[in-house]
């Protein structure tokens, strides 16, 4: 019998009707010349790919009163076609009309009495194109394993034929339902471990507090960046998050991002943070809502090894000062880079508090659910660990195909957390970075403006770098 891991289970416990905990995305499909693409052919394609993959036939057996983590059990006579739906975007087509339709579909929680995923094939796009939308509960996989799985589901050529079912590097299994006695016996055994986990995390918190106290007079800017990263000023979207979801998107060249990171000696993720910071800064400044202090980005980082393609979650989050209070694009990027180095080292040394670890291993699922519901209700009255999540997930650098149609664009869609009505997730695919700006429309009323500022922010950064190179042909930086 497969019980959910502590980290997988936390994404179930944190879910509320207003804050569903599934992730997903859009794949814009362009049927190849001469290929017959239809809803029926798509269903047969998914049935052939997911039917042999046991993980997608599992459903939950939850433990009464949240006394322990749920279990995966097999759904008998499962047909993947039951999880696939068909809709059409209203005419006349526009990205905004598609976005509104997607938001309405995505905001609905997944049915826990069924396997925790679904797909929607959206028709009505110009040129005979389609959009594939997928939703998968975060308890099934994180962003990295989801991107890896998509490469196994999709093809390298439009006419690919797979002689054998796909194989996912996942050793988990599911079985029949447990009886109540077995469930409560296991719950008692697992509950006995809670004091050990709680004392471990209390020790980590004391270690972090001691480190901060010892360095409070340290003039090192890296130390100062780490200390201020624990306090986030409020942004307009840091309030009670409602049930409605909006999505906006934009795309930039991955090569342009790499040229900047190579020139300035940073990372791709640093540049992603810098250009989203520039976009957020401009968006808030124009509306007279830009705080004097820097906003804080919560950056998920994978803890899985490079050769680990298993499903499930292996992730922790790092608070990184977003440098939204810095006007100069290059200075903003370099400051983010320094802060990210400190955050990574603190996570490695165990100085930073692992909030996901605390929630997953030191609290009963029922207690965590009550805590999350309380946090979701108080809005900006609680301390902010971060203002928004900014996540970067790699996908394939080459074209992929789905049921014979080429995937020409992808848009990642992620979840919102209590008091965080904004999430920016970027997915790299086929030489481009695709940004998905997920938001509560009541808290971010013009997200298309925010999304459109991301390419402009990259352009401003590139112009600043080019200007610096013109004045310094050797390419040196301070």
**Position 381 pLDDT exceeds 80:** no
138 labelled catalytic:
yes
125-145 average pLDDT score: 86
199-224 average pLDDT score: 48
109-130 average pLDDT score: 95
Q: How confident is the model at residue 215 (pLDDT cuts 50, 70, 90)?
A: very low
Q: Per the structure block, which two tokens stand in for 337?
A: 């880079």
pLDDT score for 162: 64
201-212 average pLDDT score: 48
**Position 314 pLDDT exceeds 60:** no
Higher pLDDT among residues 320 and 200, named by residue: 320
pLDDT score for 282: 98
**Position 267 pLDDT exceeds 60:** yes
Q: To the nearest 5 percent, what fractions of the chain are helix, strand and coil?
A: 40, 20, 35
Q: How confident is the model at residue 145 (pLDDT cuts 50, 70, 90)?
A: low
Q: Which long-range contacts does 288-293 make (Cβ < 8 Å, 24+ apart)?
A: 289/235, 289/236, 290/324, 290/325, 291/233, 291/234, 291/235, 291/324, 291/325, 292/233, 292/325, 293/228, 293/231, 293/233, 293/325
pLDDT score for 50: 85
Higher pLDDT among residues 450 and 220, named by residue: 450
**Position 13 pLDDT exceeds 50:** yes
Give yes or no for a contact between 312 and 141, defined as CB atoms under 8 angstroms apart: yes
**Position 174 pLDDT exceeds 80:** no
pLDDT score for 212: 43
pLDDT score for 54: 81
Residue pLDDT, tens place only, 20-33: 999 999 999 999 87
Task: Tell me if residue 402 falls in helix, strand or coil.
Answer: strand
pLDDT score for 286: 97
Q: How confident is the model at residue 154 (pLDDT cuts 50, 70, 90)?
A: confident
Ranges 138-147, 242-251, 252-261, 397-406: which has the least confidence: 138-147
**Position 103 pLDDT exceeds 90:** yes
Residue pLDDT, tens place only, 350-366: 555 555 555 656 566 77
Higher pLDDT among residues 189 and 415, named by residue: 415
pLDDT score for 225: 43
pLDDT score for 306: 55
Would residue 350 be called left, alpha or beta, if left means φ above 0 and alpha means ψ between -120 and 50 degrees? left
Closest Cα to residue 98, out of 74, 123, 116, 68?
123
pLDDT score for 227: 42
pLDDT score for 222: 44
317-337 average pLDDT score: 96
Q: Which pTM was predicted?
A: 0.85
Q: How far apart are CA 434 and CA 451, in angstroms?
A: 11
**Identified catalytic residue from 22, 138, 434, 439:** 138
Residue pLDDT, tens place only, 418-444: 899 999 999 999 999 999 999 999 999
pLDDT score for 172: 55
Higher pLDDT among residues 221 and 236, named by residue: 236
**Position 195 pLDDT exceeds 80:** no
Closest Cα to residue 387, out of 419, 350, 430?
419
Averaged pLDDT score across all residues of the chain: 83
Cross-strand pairs, 71: 3, 61
């Amino acid at each position: 019998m497969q019980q959910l891991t502590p980290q997988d289970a936390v994404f179930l416990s944190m879910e509320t009707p207003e804050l569903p905990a599934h992730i997903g995305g859009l794949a814009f499909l362009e049927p190849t010349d001469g290929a017959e693409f239809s809803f029926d052919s798509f269903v047969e394609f998914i049935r052939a790919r997911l039917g042999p993959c046991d993980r997608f036939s599992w459903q939950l057996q939850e433990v009464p009163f949240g006394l322990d983590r749920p279990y995966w059990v097999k759904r008998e006579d499962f047909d993947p076609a039951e999880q696939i739906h068909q809709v059409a975007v209203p005419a006349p087509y526009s990205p905004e009309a598609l976005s509104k339709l997607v938001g309405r579909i995505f905001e609905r929680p997944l049915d826990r009495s069924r396997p925790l995923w679904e797909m929607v094939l959206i028709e009505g796009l110009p040129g005979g194109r389609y959009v594939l939308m997928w939703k998968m509960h975060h308890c099934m996989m994180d962003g990295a394993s989801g991107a890896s799985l998509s490469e196994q589901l999709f093809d390298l050529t439009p006419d690919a034929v797979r002689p054998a079912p796909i194989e996912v590097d996942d050793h988990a299994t599911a079985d029949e339902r447990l009886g109540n006695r077995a469930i409560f016996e296991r719950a008692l055994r697992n509950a006995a471990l809670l004091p050990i986990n709680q004392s471990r995390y209390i020790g980590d918190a004391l270690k972090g507090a001691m480190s901060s106290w010892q360095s409070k007079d340290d003039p090192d800017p890296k130390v100062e960046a780490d200390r201020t990263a624990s306090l986030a000023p409020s942004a307009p979207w840091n309030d009670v998050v409602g049930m409605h979801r909006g999505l906006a998107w934009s795309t930039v060249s991955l090569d342009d991002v790499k040229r900047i990171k190579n020139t300035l000696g940073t990372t791709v993720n640093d540049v992603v943070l810098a250009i989203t910071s520039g976009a957020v800064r401009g968006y808030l400044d124009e509306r007279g809502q830009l705080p004097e202090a820097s906003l804080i980005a919560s950056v998920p980082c994978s803890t899985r090894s490079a050769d680990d393609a298993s499903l499930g979650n292996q992730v922790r989050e790092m608070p990184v000062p977003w440098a939204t209070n810095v006007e100069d694009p290059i200075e903003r990027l370099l400051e983010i880079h320094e802060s990210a180095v400190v955050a990574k080292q603190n996570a490695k040394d165990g100085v930073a508090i692992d909030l996901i670890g605390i929630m997953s291993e030191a609290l009963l699922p029922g207690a965590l659910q009550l805590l999350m519901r309380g946090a979701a209700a108080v809005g900006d009255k609680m301390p902010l660990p971060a203002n928004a999540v900014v996540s970067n997930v790699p996908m394939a650098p080459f074209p992929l195909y789905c049921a014979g149609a080429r995937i020409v664009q992808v848009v990642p869609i992620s979840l919102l957390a209590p008091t965080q009505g904004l999430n920016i997730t970027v997915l790299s695919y086929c030489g481009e970075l695709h940004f998905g700006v997920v938001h509560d429309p009541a808290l971010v009323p013009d997200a298309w403006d925010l999304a459109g500022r991301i390419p402009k922010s990259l352009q401003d950064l590139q112009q600043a770098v080019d200007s610096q190179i013109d004045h310094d042909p050797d390419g040196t930086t301070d």
